[in-house]
Every structure is written in structure tokens, then in C-alpha cells.
Amino acid sequence: MQSVYRRQILALTAASLAAAFAAPSLHAEDLKTVKIALTPQTYNIAIAEKEGFLAKHGLKAEVIPLATGTETIAAVKGGSADIAYADTFAGVNAIHNGFDIKLVGGANHTSPAVNFLVRDDSDIRTFADLKGRTIGLGGVPFFRVFAYKFLSGNGLTAKDVKFSIIKQVSALPEALQNGAVDAIQTLGFQVTYLNDGVGTGYNFRSIINPDSSKYQNPAAVQAGWWTTSEWAKQNEDTAKRFATAYREFAAWYNDRDQAQRVDLARQFDKLDFNELAGGDPEKLKNLAFLTTAKYVGGPVDVAATQEWIDSGVAAAPDQVSAGVSIADHLLPTAR
């Protein structure tokens, strides 16, 4: 009898816990809606919402998809969005142009892996062989910053190479294959493994150790959550709840193991890392841990992020505005 009673108690307890965790979805009308402007292939909010981090703090997201960080910031400035996901340089430029915006919190740190690829039949074997050659880069400023830092960290300067800016990063592999450029820069490992002679693309190879921490402070914030000073003042509690929910999500995601990350990539990014890795455990590990930049689970590292901004000004003065101190544009939630 005692064992039966104990099973009943356990069953009731389990049911109560399930109900407690399900409660936010049963009372979705009680959650405060936050309009969040996101750029393409940004899945942090979708994952955070599915895992209950927003609901835990009484929030739900209304996602507003836009093409660039410049557009997401314009959306908060115009009032069609409450919070914008945008890279740090987009925020700096907006501030320089007179936008009264603040950083609610960091979203993700700088990309952990930056590859430089050449065709397999290329005579370029090491970074030194890049001297006098043309490197294809994406159009947004952080691509150029990574390139400048990579070069300076390996004994070269920007004057030693030529840059070909290709706005559509998806066109970089074709540009390399047809000889328009001698090398291309890519973030993470997806393009590398799709085009390594084993994948379904071209036959390229990497010429460097892609670990960006060797020349870039990984604590810097590459992209963050921005809002207007006016919205923050009128919605102080909401901003605080959002920042707390996101930090909790970031800590949770950063702690996921390889299998969990592979599953999340499949669910949200529709990427099959197992298939792309082709049974190679090292490839799978790189895809799982070095495709997505580490999310920001704590205060913004002001010194590291300012250094990132200053690097942007030095590398791309035509794309990143000078004279902005990020410390002057942080809400308390970002500290």
C-alpha cells in the first residue's frame, strides 16, 4: 500500500511541476509583448522563447524581421520596434548620426572562428603567400576588422594585400572558384566544410588556424540589443526583465553539449551538422561549438568592446564612425 501511495504522490508532484512549467503558455495573454527587430538567421530569440526564458519573466516576443542592423535600429528609432538586434558598428554609426540609443545588453561575442580559404590547386600555402593577392570579404565592417587583425597578427598589413568587397557573402565561394579573388574569408566552418572536396561544393582548403582569439579579444561584444533612451525610460522594468531573461538564456545555451547544439541547429537553422561533418568527429565538434558565436551571459566588457570599436574605425574608417565611447551608451541592464 505504501508503495502505491508513494507512486500516487510522485505522480501528483510530477503533474504539478508540469503544470507550473506550462503555466506561461496557458496564460499567454498575460505576458507583455516586446517587439524585437531581428536580422536574418538570428535564432537566439526563437530559442529563448521556446525554452521559456522570456515567459519566465513575463514577456513574449513579436519578431520583426529586417535585412540589416541599420534597419533594425531605424525601426526602434521610428517606434515600430522596441528592441533591435544589431552589430556594434551599426549602433556606433547610429549614435554618431544623432540617434539617442542605448545598449540594453550584449547579444553575442565576436566570432570564434574565422577561416581564410583558397582553391585546392592554389600556390598559396601560408599567410605569407597572401602578399600581393586579392582577398574577398563580405560587405559589413566586421569582416574587414577580422581581416585587418588577422593580417597584423601574422606579420602583414592591409597594404600588403588587396581587398575585394562582395556584399553578398553567399557569392564568395563562386568568386574564389572563378578566379575573381585569390582567397576568401568566412566565419565559422559551414562554408569550409561545404567546399573541402568532400562536401557538396567546391574544392577549397584553409590556410590558417581559424581561432580568432589569437588576435581578437573574445570578450568583445560584436552584436547587442539596442533601444531608444525614451523607450528605456518609459519601460524600465520591461528592459530589465528582457536583459535578465536573455542573460539566463545565454548562460543556458553556452552550457549546451555537442548533441544539444547539433539538435538546436537542426531545429532552428535547418542545418544538419551530422550530415555536413560526414562522420568526422573533429568537423562535428567545430560545427557545434564554433559556428555560433558565444552569447553574452553577463555585463558588457566595456574595455574589450571599445577596443573592437576602435579597431573598426582603424580598419574601415569609411564604414565605422570615430569618437563614440560605448561606456556612455549603456543602460544599467548592460552593466
Do 87 and 224 sit in the same domain of this protein? yes
Q: Is residue 7 part of a domain?
A: no
Do residues 124 and 162 both lie within one domain?
yes
Calculate mean pLDDT across residues 306-321: 96
In a domain, 55, yes or no: yes
Residue 27 — pLDDT band, cuts 50, 70, 90?
Answer: low
pLDDT for the residue numbered 28: 62
Write the pLDDT tens digit of every residue in 135-145: 999 999 999 99
Q: Answer whether residue 25 shows pLDDT above 70.
A: no
94 with 193, same domain: the answer is no
Assign 212 a pLDDT band (cuts: 50, 70, 90): very high
pTM for the predicted model, two decimal places: 0.89
Residues of the domain holding 69: 31-110+220-279+295-334
SS (H, E, C) the chain: CHHHHHHHHHHHHHHHHHHHHHHHHHCHHHCEEEEEEECCCCCHHHHHHHCCHHHHCCEEEEEEECCCHHHHHHHHHHCCCCEEEEEHHHHHHHHHCCCCEEEEEEEEECCCEEEEEEECCCCCCCHHHHCCCEEEECCCHHHHHHHHHHHHCCCCCHHHCEEEECCCHHHHHHHHHCCCCCEEEEECCHHHHHCECCCCCCEEEECCCCEHHHCCCCCCEEEEEEEEHHHHHHCHHHHHHHHHHHHHHHHHHHCCCHHHHHHHHHHHHCCCHHHHHCCCHHHHHHHHHHCCCCECCCCCCHHHHHHHHHHHHHHCCCCCCCCCCHHHHECHHHC
Q: Could you give the number of structural domains in the chain?
A: 2
Q: What is the CATH number of the domain that holds 250?
A: 3.40.190.10
The reply to whether 170 and 93 lie within a common domain is no
